[in-house]
Amino acid sequence: MNYFITGTDTGVGKTLVSCALLHAFAAQGKRVVGFKPVAAGCGENDRSEDAEQLWAASNVLATYGQINPYCFVPPIAPHIAARRSGVRIEFNRILTSFRELSSQADVVVVEGAGGFLIPLNEKQDGGHLARELALPIIVVVGMRLGCINHALLTQRVIEGCGLICAGWVANVTDAEMLALNENIEALQQRIAAPLLGVVPYQLTPDANRVAGMLDISLLG
């Protein structure tokens, strides 16, 4: 019961939904842990705020290094941040951490960086990583103008990689989005995977609250 969380873009709520999923599975008595293989925009302590939120939402004892193997300070595309840091993002290191976490938990929620095809090194991107991990995908759709196209493109690429889209979450990132319900209906008609929940716009996102909005029974 491990999942790879991707988004239609950066800043669409992947961390919020990932933490909410951890809380939802933990409420069922499962051992859960979040995993952020690559993060950019890390603080002076060389830690990612997103990864620390995942760490806090986990109930399995793991080190920060296991949860976030690669962390870069500049808030830019990870392959560029890595190159500027003199580092190459290696999948073997990521897979080692994933296997360690999988051995300790019933559910590992893996949060990707940016959108699905964000480059991670000179040859590999987020899609390659998802394929290496061989996990079902949950897509976080940032509900704002342009979301239908972004969501359907993401779905098509996931299918093209031979992966399964297990579900999607509509996260309202634009409080004044026009035709919100019609946009959600359009996506439901075109995405075969189930809609796990609609997350309303929140000034102060609360993963515990969002956990109650997600129907994880639909993941099957």
- Choose the weakest-confidence range: 45-49, 98-102, 149-153, 204-208: 45-49
Q: 21 pLDDT band (50/70/90 cuts)?
A: very high
Q: What is the mean pLDDT of residues 110-131?
A: 95
Summarised one tens digit per residue, pLDDT across range 142-158 is 999 999 999 999 999 99
Which residue matches tokens 């296997």?
99
Instruction: Give one DSSP letter per residue of 166-198, joined into a string.
Output: EEEEEEE--TT-TTHHHHHHHHHHH--S-EEEE
> What structural domains and CATH numbers belong to the chain?
3-219 (3.40.50.300)
Q: 115 pLDDT band (50/70/90 cuts)?
A: very high
30 belongs to the catalytic site: no
First-to-final CA distance of the chain: 9
Question: Which residue out of 14, 30, 36, 123 is catalytically annotated?
Answer: 36
